[in-house]
Structure 1
Amino acid sequence: MPPAWLQTLFEKWRATRGDRLAPAKNPFSTPWPELLEEAGLKRVEDQRAAQRDLEQLHNQGRLKSVTHDYRLYLIQRVQIPIEAEPWLQETFGHRPASDRHAQSLLTVKEFEAKHHPRFPELWQQWCGRIYKTFGQGLNVPPLMWKAPEKMRDMLDLTFRFTSVAWAENTPVRTASIALGLEGGSKELEPRKANLESCFNSLFGRPVTLESCGIQLTEPKVDVAGQITLHSFDEKDIIHALKGVVSLSLTPDIEQATRISTPATRVLLVENKKTTLPQLALKNKAGGTLLIGCSFPNSAVLRLLELLPPDLPVYHFGDTDPAGFLILAKLREQTGRNIQPFLMQHRRGSAAIALTEYDRKILPGLLENPWLEDVRAELESIAFSQDKGLYEQENLGQPDLNEWPFYSVSGLA
């Protein structure tokens, strides 16, 4: 078993150079007294034993001890010669970065060659982008070339998950079992963040497990504003929400019989990460109840169900086909007259081509009876084949301190 100080030396080298692809130009070195202290060698006999080990490795050409100019018995630094780095990696079972990089590139090429049953063009393009980025020594989070086995598992799960057209409200347990995930019936949920990051990279827009039809164990909804949850036992829970707060379906919303609010309207906001917090800061008077809704999960639907039926509801979503799909789902599943907010097809100076996913869902949206009032926007997208300035961020930050938050809305 390698001595403690050598283990510490390796860890310091790995943190600095372990994932570098470019060959080292200078030997790695570190102060010897500090190394002994970090390794926990404080007794004189332990330090002398470490020095004897170092002298032996120095004589073997594995390491180099750098002594004081005049007091040659004093070791000031320890160096790892460049030609000894393979020995150090082998000693501690560390795969060279070049090997892991090469394996990751081969894995991406392997998956690029696989035929995706639902999005073949999109899948090939995505793998091509990953390959190009990896080739530059960079990562595509959460896909890291430095961890080829984990990267392969994530690519494989993304391929298998997106190959299925999941039925709405498929329990996460059912999906986990169908995908053959090891470790339990809800193993999809711990992978949620990484898997959704892959979806976002693949589709070029935020995509969640819920938007794919998966019903999670504990659905949540992000809310900003003031609401009161009324329950059977007349114990009212008042949420004077400062900023954006996540409410769980159980027990927060599920136990309520109705919800009241002093707000005079509801605004559903697709972009929960940036736009929703920006609007919350502007909503100082509290006249608008803000609800994050990248896709209508059961928590969002239950919240809308419990709010007063005459409370006007608006949806502020992206203006690409996927954004209009969310609007259709909201109307269909709530039965409310949800009005689009700032959802006009806006073209920029350079066209943004529709993705394979956009082209797949657009014909159905054009025929969807829940979208008759926005058909002109959908027809504009179909005719131009241009997504346009579809992201909410393209409107800039809200410039009004109350509804309608944006002077460009024409509603002020």
Structure 2
Amino acid sequence: MSPVTGRPVPTPPEDDFLARLRRTADDAVPPSELDLDLVLRSSRRGVQRRRSLAGVAGVVALGLVGTGVVTAGGPDGFRDLAREVVSGSPGYEVVTAEPTLVDVAPGVVAVKEPATYRRDDGTYLLDLGLGAWRDGERFLVEYRPEPAGSEQPPGLRVLAGDDGDLAVLRRGGTAGAVVHDGFQNLVLLQREGGAEGLVLSVATSATPPGSDPSWERERMETWMLLAGEGPAATGPTYRLPDAWAEGLFLNVAALGPEAGPATDVRGILTATRSENNRSLGAMTCGSPLTGPDRDPSCRASYDPTTREVVPIETSPAIPRLLVDRLLPAAPAPGDTSDAELRTCLDVRGVETGMLPDRWYLDPGGLDGDAWRQCLLDVALISSARTAQALGSATPES
């Protein structure tokens, strides 16, 4: 009964806000003799009197701190809810809630779609869903799109972190261990000791964020190439899904011990086909011709125990035997002739008749691994020869 009117006091409705606040408070506060329902409803009546969202956040937060239960800042869930109450936003938007992984081969797991969060500052946080070689931790990617009309390159960081780190990063904070910093088309990371590895290739997309990238994805075909053992040996090759992340195409794979003894990644090969354009892209670490070449921005070793990232020496991208045979094969810089492909396949022990269309990375009856390895070799040789003709240094990866 109201002491002023003598009439019954109406009960505030059981709305979504009250239910969420009760659930969050239940999670944040251990068992207590306080009547939590009464405390929450009293706080709600205070809100209705003052008509201030900021007021309720202050009343509830002060009330909980006064009991000695919540320290400064409170649990992540409560801080997120308080921020959402005051600002109307938790600090990020969920674009894709869960990562999707696929088994490519024994010991090879690839990302079909990362979990994607768009932060209020316009950057994206991606949860790859791949374990970062430490209990509870996964590999995460921070991506800042290139500003429109700006020559500033996009930003890219790869981190290792757990659920708590992910929560902080989603709100724009700093957390986790940085294992790579800087926009690089290819990032190769191996666990200290070399038993496991992470492969990340990225390329900016012509499809703007918020649009459907299916037309662009359908014309792409991407393969990861591993090194074989011995001179010009043919290692295995694996097709990777082209993952889309709001303006960025990624090809990401984790390599485990089951992938075999030769898990050194030579590079990534991508074919793009459309009605008016066909192109073949090759990415690798270090120089195609000379080596060993130290390239700390591309290949590194990561120790999940000490958090130490150490650049590792990279071998020449092409075996010397193939370099000696392929360099004289093409008549001019930039020209990739069938003669180069036939020479490479011959060195790899593959007999050829009529060559397949080079824009298709799956050649049908021909040895597919050898075909893709040679397409990478020829592309790298052509790139190196062009750089030499221009009088420049050997090209970067």
**What TM-score do the two structures reach when normalised by structure 2?**
0.25
**What TM-score do the two structures reach when normalised by structure 1?**
0.24
Between Structure 1 and Structure 2, the one with more strand by share is 2
Relative contact order (C-alpha < 8 Å, sep 6+): which is higher? 2
